[in-house]
Structure 1
Amino acid sequence: MKFIYPEGATPFNQDDQKNLIPDHIKTQAEIWLLKRKGNLLTTAFCKKLHKKMFDKTWAWAGNFRTYQIM
């Protein structure tokens, strides 16, 4: 996999690549977040990101909790 790093970005090496999860990502363009254009600080985007990150963990991923945690 070849990555192109913007100025000031931290590159990673082959060992880092081997530990990349999920392992089906083969190119930088396949990383969903890198393709995102526009404002990332919206409620809709945060909910979408949460769903993509935790849909295999929480049934409610991508939604706000409906109860108070004490």
Structure 2
Amino acid sequence: MVQDFGSWLVDQHKRDDWVGLLGFQARRDTSFPTGGDPDDVRAYLERNGADPDALDMLETAALEWGRA
């Protein structure tokens, strides 16, 4: 079974890169959609005023998750 993207992203919180930073921020957000796919997470970030850099990080993370 493939891990949900949101949950996978939170699990990346200890990494020392942009994906890890996004995971760290997601882990601290109790409303973050851990059961969501990349589209769900993007919609959540956009609703909450994410800046373009965060959305770029999301794209990088989604590509990596898709290869897992």
TM-score by length of 1: 0.22
- TM-score normalised to the size of structure 2? 0.22
Q: Which is richer in helix?
A: 2
